[in-house]
């Protein structure tokens, strides 16, 4: 498994709140994507996560960005994460640990997606 460095970013959305710390982690698991999601939601609950305001303050927010080269679109789970290609706070740490992974829908390397997003700003 790999862990990126921490990246401090300003919050996303219109809610006034403190900066966020972002990081990406690569793990190996025997869980299915749905089982992994359930485990992550349980970790969030144990750490005191309350879902009140969309894009509002939170103790922790754990997301599945990619799961091998799977594409999943369920009512409670979308893989790859639908907004990951539009967010530097996702692509910056992800490209640090997985630059040569190919996004299964975009068909581009994570490092290329990061470069494209950086150029568009």
Has residue 39 got a pLDDT over 80?
Answer: yes
Q: Which residues are catalytic?
A: 49, 58, 61, 63
pLDDT at 10: 82
Q: What's the pTM? A: 0.87
pLDDT at 12: 67
Tally of domains within the chain? 1
- The whole domain housing 9 covers 2-120
Has residue 38 got a pLDDT over 80?
Answer: yes
User: Do 4 and 25 form a contact (C-beta atoms < 8 A)?
Assistant: yes
Query: What mean pLDDT value characterizes the chain?
Result: 90
Task: Kindly give, in sequence order, each residue whose CB lies less than 8 Å from that of residue 40, ignoring residues fewer than 6 positions away.
Answer: 62, 63, 64
Task: Tell me the average pLDDT across 94-104.
Answer: 98
Check which CATH number belongs to the domain holding 86 and give it: 3.30.70.560
């Amino acid at each position: 498994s790999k862990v990126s460095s921490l990246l401090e970013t300003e919050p996303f959305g219109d809610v006034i709140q403190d900066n966020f710390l972002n990081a990406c982690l690569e793990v190996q698991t025997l869980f299915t994507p749905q089982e992994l999601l359930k485990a992550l939601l349980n970790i969030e609950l144990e750490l005191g996560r309350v879902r009140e305001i969309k894009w509002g303050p939170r103790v922790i927010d754990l997301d599945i960005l990619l799961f091998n080269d799977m594409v999943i679109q369920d009512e409670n789970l979308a893989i790859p994460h639908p907004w990951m290609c539009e967010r530097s706070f996702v692509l910056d740490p992800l490209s640090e640990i997985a630059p040569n992974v190919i996004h299964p829908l975009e068909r581009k390397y994570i490092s290329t997606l990061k470069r494209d997003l950086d150029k568009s700003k």
